Structure 1
């Protein structure tokens, strides 16, 4: 049986899809807020709204406050509320090459490389997001206890 390509790929398609998903997610958030406002306008109690939409009381009141302060436009994501990146797209490409060439494995190593090469300081959490954006997987390290039996993996499999 031969392998069949299900989706035609082209350069940049993954980042295009991710951008579109992000845009649609924001639209869904606004839609959810509007459903809550509509329920309140139809005299549904806050407790019922919380249960129906699975949100907290504080969230309901925040969305009501946003609505009262500026209507539908105020419920939408504010332009510029997403912080501008300190690195340009070109610098991200250079960073990607640095990570590959220097075989950087940890967020701390990437943090140091960004500081040294671009004189920009990010938090470790933001470095993890940047690595994810550049399609690097990231897993948190786990402890290996010195008192752990040598055959711990086998014992775990049995249970």
Structure 2
């Protein structure tokens, strides 16, 4: 059992400041809250219940406090791995990604494996692309017909233009792409 009143007045005040700081990092503030509740005399199971934690986590955070104080309580201990692509390779990949549209992460993964001999999982490639500033976008399809008011305004403008032409003037229509009746937007 952890005995009440193990914090000095100065330690308690420091933890209170950390708990009440609105812009503070959530993890250390939560750990400080646990230490304060323990110092108030609550049992480990009571603190665990109030903070929605398990008993082992409360004991672990208390041990961290005992071993190193506020500095140890603020440590997370998580370290990311080093990037699998070098900085030069990442710059080259960004250049390729900016030069053409890739519609799936499978295409990008295949490119990276072929060009840089580094294999990524789907989730790993998504994280890499986010870190490099890319995001997946799926365009929204527009309705097939514009609103009636827009159509009527176009017809009026078109008829006005036709009525203002000379007899020798010609109206030519050009269609460069022949759109499909029900297009499906691509994404990338």
The normalised TM-score by structure 1 is 0.54
Structure 2 unmatched ranges of 5 or more: 1-22, 139-188
Residue of structure 2 equivalent to 1:56: 54
Summarize the alignment of residues 9-158 of structure 1 with structure 2, pairs less than 5 Å apart.
Answer: 27-77=25-75, 81-133=79-131, 134-137=133-136
How far residue 38 of structure 1 moved from its aligned partner, in angstroms, is 1.9
Residues 34-66 of structure 1: CA distance to partner in whole angstroms, max 9, x if unpaired?
A: 211221122222233233323333432332233
- SS of the aligned residue for 1:137 comes to coil
How far residue 90 of structure 1 moved from its aligned partner, in angstroms, is 4.7
Residue of structure 1 equivalent to 2:3: none
Which one has a larger percent helix, Structure 1 or Structure 2? Answer: 1
* Aligned length, in residue pairs: 116
Contact 1:39 1:49 in 2 (8 A): yes
Give me the CA root mean square deviation: 3.3
- SS of the aligned residue for 2:135 comes to coil
Structure 1 unmatched ranges of 5 or more: 1-24, 140-159
Residues 46-97 of structure 1: CA distance to partner in whole angstroms, max 9, x if unpaired?
A: 2332333233334323322333443332233367822222334553343233
Quickly say closer, same or farther: Cα 1:91–1:78, change in 2 above 3 A: farther
Structure with the bigger RCO (C-alpha within 8 Å, sep 6+) is: 2
